[in-house]
Structure 1
Amino acid sequence: MENLTTKSKVTHYILIIVGTFLMAASINLVYEPLEMVTGGITGLAIVIKKVSSMWIEDGIPIWLSNILLNVPLFIAAILVRGKTFLKNTFFATISLSVALYLIPTVDIVYQDYLLASVFGGVIGGAGIGMVFIVHASTGGTDLLAMLIHKYKPYYTVPQILTVVDGVIVLAGVISFGLTKALYAIIAVYIAAKISDSIMEGLKFAKMAYIISDNYNEIAQHIMAELDRGVTGVSATGMYSNQDKKMLFCVVSKKEIVELTEIVAKVDPKAFIIVSDAREVMGEGFREYRQ
């Protein structure tokens, strides 16, 4: 058990490091060279670097602004989310700052703003999603989004982040013009979709409702071959007015094909309804933790 816990912690830190380096890559290789403010503390840092370059050569580095601007949000995190959450967030914030320091600022899209908004949104969103998976944050507006999510759980963190970053993108219009801001909005939207997909993709499962006269045989095959539980639900066919037994089963996305094959083999005339389950907790799936 101790080895599993240690392995889990190592995996969490690896995800945070990889995720923050992807985020830093999108900033230093795409957004900053094209002056695209995509929101967040790093977006504000791009503006600060531009403005401060009037008095300081090359302006205040983004990595330094990222650390300094996160101080008040860290204080809020201690009060609202506790020290455990802060530990992961502190590590992620430092990791992002280190990545911003190490990765050089180079224009890899050669002033192609459409390519920048798509490519930057994809790699940046992937990085955000990897960090959020382990319930961490890189500070800044994503930390603010996670704090808001605690009180508004019916909105996903990426959805909240989209709204907050959208406001900052509008502020970027003043500094860099409307055209760049419009492309930045595309990048923010793509990043939110990618991060949302990464977070929810790990939780998705499939629900199957099976109506067949051979329900007992089908249930036995599912339990034996897929090692999944099956629930029998009493139902009545309104057309025939006959009592029937409907089977209810939850499986992973990979197992749904095998499940339908099992049903078709036992009863080719069986009626099957398959739908998505956004999150499943319990035996055989993700454990519930208070």
Structure 2
Amino acid sequence: MKQSKILKTLFEYFVITLGIAMYTFAWQAFMIPKGFFSGGVTGIATVLNFATGGDGVTGGIPIPATYLVLNILLLGVGFFVLGTKFGFKTIYAIIMASIFLKVFEGVWVSPIQEDFLNALIGGAISGAGIALTFLVGGSTGGTDIVALVIRKYFNITEGKVYLIVELLIISSIILVPGKGLQEMVYGYLTIIAFSTALDYIMVGSRSTVQILVFSKRADEIADMLLGMGRGVTAVPSVGWYSKQDGKVLIVVVKKNQMPEITRKVKELDEHVFISVCSATEVFGQGFEEVKTGVKKIWKKADKKS
């Protein structure tokens, strides 16, 4: 058991490393060389610096100070709301992002001349990288934490939250001298591609299917599924052609669990009839929590009072 936990932890950190590598490579290869405006905490820090008379290096509110203060505050929120495990993974991701940004600097720059394509490709690759990091409970800090915290309490995807926050940040380019509509548009394209890729992977990982099993050996199949740790509901049925009573088994599982279940059911009854359909949303034990917009901490406070 201890060894399996160690292997699981190592795998999670490997996925975080891979995701951060994709994220930073996208910036160094497709976005930074083209002069695209950054979003996230870095974007906020940059806007504040220029808006207060700075040039990115001297004057104004220092970018490093703003970046550090905002990330410390958001990390505190992440620790409190999402747990210490999330916090340590985020610290690791922030360190790896700093290393990879330096490693990938100037290694390869996109030869594509069209800024439109660079914005789309860079945004999509960086979004996919952050999605991998999210899947194992990590984050690069900044607005990633905002997205995960809001997702915890509200029924809205990470990509949509990220899109809203980043659009607000990029819109503030108008406060920066020398920046205008063109930089804003390419910034929007990058974030749209980013959030689309993020949602595609995150929603896909939560995809759920409902399986209906029609078999004369329904009891054996139900016992087998329970042994696999899957919930099963048996509904009385009548075969209208044969006029025989039977049972229909209803099983709801994650999409990636479906092949194993259908294979094992087929092994028990080679004449089984199986129907599979996608479930748009599944809430309850073992799946997503119902997001009502009311924080759990508020509920606990109400109970105490």
Shorter-chain TM-score: what band?
Answer: 0.7 to 0.9
Q: Could you tell me which residue of structure 1 aligns to residue 233 of structure 2?
A: 231
Determine if the alignment matches structure 1 residue 197 to structure 2 residue 230: no
Corresponding residue number in structure 2 for 1:160: 161
Q: CA deviation at 1:172?
A: 2.7
1:260, CA displacement in angstroms?
10
Which stretch of the first structure deviates more once superposed, 215-224 or 156-165? 215-224
Q: 1:206 to 1:112 in 2, by over 3 A?
A: same
**What SS is found at the alignment partner of 1:128?**
helix
With 35-44 and 138-147 compared, the bigger mean Cα shift is at 35-44
Q: Which residue of 2 aligns with 1:102?
A: 103
Distance 1:220 1:155 in 2: 39
Mapped contact 2:151–2:157 kept (Cα < 8 A):
yes
Q: What is the rounded CA distance, in whole Å, between the counterparts of 1:273 and 1:158 in structure 2?
A: 28
Identity in percent: 25
- Partner in structure 2 of residue 206 of structure 1: 209
Work out the number of aligned pairs and report it: 277
Q: Which residue of 2 aligns with 1:133?
A: 135
SS across alignment from 2:34:
coil
CA–CA separation in structure 1 for the residues paired with 2:233 and 2:128: 37
Larger mean CA deviation between 31-40 and 73-82 belongs to 73-82
- Over 3 Å counting, the alpha-carbon distance change for 1:206 and 1:219 in structure 2 is farther
Q: CA deviation at 1:208?
A: 1.8
Kept after mapping to 2: 8 A contact 1:38/1:185:
no
User: How many angstroms does 1:16 deviate by?
Assistant: 1.4
TM-score (norm 1): 0.73
Q: Structure 1: how far apart are the matches of 2:24 and 2:6?
A: 27
Q: Give the structure-2-normalised TM-score.
A: 0.70
Q: Write the distance in 1 (CA, Å) between the matches of 2:55 and 2:224.
A: 71
Checking the alignment, whether the CA contact within 8 Å between 2:217 and 2:269 is kept in structure 1 is: no
Structure 2 equivalent of residue 266 of structure 1 = 271
**In 1, are the aligned partners of 2:209 and 2:279 still within 8 Å (CA)?**
yes
SS at match of 2:259: coil
Q: Distance in 2 between matches of 1:155 and 1:242?
A: 45
Residue in structure 2 matched with residue 34 of structure 1 by the alignment? 34
User: Alpha-carbon deviations, 1:86-135, whole Å to 9, x = none?
Assistant: 21211111111222222215641444222112211221011111111121
Aligned: 1:124 with 2:129: no
Tell me what 2:16 maps to: 16
Shift of 1:154: 1.4
Q: Is the 8 A contact 1:142 1:161 kept in 2?
A: yes
- Call closer, same or farther: CA 1:64–1:263 in 2, change over 3 Å: farther
Give the deviation of 1:75 after TM superposition: 3.3
Distance 1:84 1:257, change over 3 A: closer
Equivalent residue number for residue 142 of structure 1? 144
Q: Find the counterpart in structure 1 of residue 189 from structure 2.
A: 186
User: Residues of 2 paired with 1:271 and 1:2: CA distance?
Assistant: 38
Give, in angstroms, the shift of residue 265 of structure 1: 6.3
**Partner residue, 1:89:** 90
CA change 1:186–1:244 in 2 (3 A) is: farther
What is the CA–CA distance in structure 1 between the aligned matches of 2:263 and 2:7, rounded to whole Å?
31
**5+ long unaligned stretches in structure 2:** 290-305
CA 115–49 in structure 1, closer or farther in 2 if over 3 Å, else same? farther
Superposition map of 1:44-123 within 5 A: 44=44, 54=55, 56=57, 67=68, 69-105=70-106, 107-123=109-125
User: C-alpha displacement at 1:249, in angstroms?
Assistant: 2.8
Aligned to 1:254: 259
